[in-house]
Amino acid sequence: MQERDFYEERPETKTHMLMCPHCNQENEYQLNWLTRRKKQRLPPNADAKDRAQFEKARSYMLRRDDVVGCKNIRCRKRFEVAGIQSVAFVQDVPNDSMENRIARLKANFDRRAGEGTKRVN
């Protein structure tokens, strides 16, 4: 089993603000990324080694564009993408929703506790 078997691959585009080093003009650029989201569970043919690797695996994104063409029509030069990491970790969805749920529960609890105090007074 290979690392890529742990992930669902999907191409994505994201908008980034980039400044051209030739003309110093800042513009929005669409960059291509490849998102590798960790699967919910391993395929059934996984062995113990695969499972150990899968445990450690995290969703991430790979930037596929290294060079963009300047949008300034008086410049139009190509420049390297700088200041944006080439690999970015992605929050896994189940973790994310669990954290949100805890935060929501806590907010509800705090509100209820506040109302209780008001009623007593």
Q: Which residues, 43 to 82, sit near Zn ion by CB under 5 A?
A: 70, 72, 75
Stretch that binds Zn ion, among 2-10, 23-31, 37-45, 103-111 (CB under 5 A): 23-31
In the chain, what are the helix, strand and coil shares in percent, each to the nearest 5?
Answer: 35, 30, 35
CB 33 within 8 A of CB 10: no
22 lies in the binding site for Zn ion (CB under 5 A): yes
CB of 77 to Zn ion, least distance (A): 5
- Closest CB to Zn ion among 23 and 34? 23
| Distance in angstroms (rounded) separating the CA atoms of residues 91 and 94 | 9
Burial code (b: 16+ CB inside 10 Å, e: under 16) for 94-110 equals eeeeeeeeeeeeeeeee
CB of 29 to Zn ion, least distance (A): 11
Q: Which residues bind Zn ion (CB under 5 A)?
A: 20, 22-23, 70, 72, 75
